[in-house]
Amino acid sequence: MNQKKRLSAIMGTPVQADAPPQASPEPSMGYTPVAGATPHAPAVEKRPAAARSMAAMWAASRPAPAEVDGAVVDLDPDLCLPSAIADRVPDVTDATFGAFVDQIREEGQHTPILVRRHPRQTGHYEIAYGRRRTRAAKALGTPVRAVVRDLSDAELVVAQGSENLAREDLSYIERAHFARNMEQAGIARDVILKAMSVHRPDLANYLAVAEAIPAPVLAAIGPAPKVGRPRWLTLADRIKAATSEQVDAALVSPGLAGKASDERFTVILNALAPPPPRKAKPRAETVKDARGVKFARIERSSDGMRVTLDEKAEPGFADYLAERLPEMLAAYRQGRG
């Protein structure tokens, strides 16, 4: 099932392509206000008092607008609270958000967000998707257009996951932590698989990476949109091998200041790199003649052997040995063969 069909099944209406918002929607468009909404008031038709009285009685017998499922409304963004299952990793250096706000200021909000009535806070709504659009509406001081649906917990995360799949900018670590957050919230594995459209091995990989990256490290790095699974695994291995003091030092590294999220990842990764292996100190031994006089020093290492001759102990022996080295090598090779 493609993304539009999944969202259509959740929202109850066909998902259309984005279109500029109508400045003054008519009642026939199904633009039904709900609690906390700022609806556009239709023109009031003058009717006789008896007719108005009958209309009032009929209206009173209908369900309250807040109970109309699937309504498209203008909501106060302060009443729209994030989903309890986070799918975004905050990034204070996100330079694209300002441009996003400017676009909505100039063009309006093309696509409504999806919310449900908050199960624990009366008069509020829980966002299935559209947190960024809600943030932009807050910044602009305008209402946010929303579709209100009666969603179960499972339907909420499936809708949230379906929207995530359509977002190109959702990074690997954000997907991993979205999966982990769902699991920690008690969402069944089959629902998580459906929400993320992945197979069980892929989900296991996401969960393993999310589990291996501590929350302080993730908060310091941010979403790192260009960093994939292999480099996150490398970082996880380095965190395991490091002491808590080393990790803390990496998180306050001066190289983090002013850096974008991907660059902060690299700074922390490099800060936790293991030190280069120390070269083994050469093993030294001395060589004595029959009288017990030291005339040579031999140093062995992984790279080879170094022989130092004492010219004072045996003058001329160094030249003698140097001249005969080719002959000695040939004799060695012949004997080995």
- Distance, in Å, from the CA atom of 136 to the CA atom of 140, rounded to the nearest integer, reads 6
Question: What does pLDDT average to over the chain?
Answer: 78
The CA distance from 330 to 332, in Å, is 5
Contact 178, 164 (CB under 8 A): yes
- pLDDT top residue among 158 and 248: 248
Q: What pLDDT sits at residue 226?
A: 92
What is the model's pLDDT at position 95?
65
pLDDT of residue 88: 73
Q: What's the pLDDT at 51?
A: 36
Looking at the domain 20-41+58-151, which fold is it?
Answer: 3.90.1530
pLDDT at 330: 87
Q: What is the DSSP string of 59-123?
A: HHHSPPGGG-TTEEEEE-GGGEEPPSS------TT-THHHHHHHHHHHH---S-EEEEE-SSSTT
| pLDDT tens-digit readout, 280-297 | 677 788 888 888 889 889
- Domain ranges across the chain: 20-41+58-151, 283-319
pLDDT of residue 241: 92
The whole-number pLDDT of residue 33 equals: 38
pLDDT of residue 166: 64
Using DSSP's 3-state secondary structure scheme, residue 142 falls into coil
232-271 burial code (b ≥16 CB/10 A, e <16): beebbebbeebeeeebeebbebeebeebebbbbbbbbbeb
pLDDT tens digits along 220-235:
999 898 999 999 999 9
For 38-70, what is each residue's pLDDT tens digit?
444 333 344 444 433 333 333 333 333 444 567
Q: What percent of the chain has pLDDT over 90?
A: 32
Q: DSSP labels for 182-228? A: HHHTT--HHHHHHHHT--HHHHHHHHHHHHHS-HHHHHHH---TT--
Q: List, for residues 306-330, the tens digit of each pLDDT value.
A: 889 888 888 888 888 888 888 888 8
Report the pLDDT averaged over residues 94-118: 87
Name the least confident of 95-99, 199-203, 296-300: 95-99
CA 9 to chain centroid: 27
Least confident of 28-32, 242-246, 326-330: 28-32
> Is the confidence at residue 5, as pLDDT, over 60?
no
Q: What is the pTM of this model?
A: 0.54
pLDDT digits (tens, 9 = 90+) for 68-83: 567 789 999 999 998 8
Which residues does 148 contact at the CB level (< 8 Å), separation at least 6? 34, 68, 69, 70, 71, 72, 73, 115, 116, 117, 125
pLDDT confidence tier of residue 270, bands split at 50, 70 and 90: very high
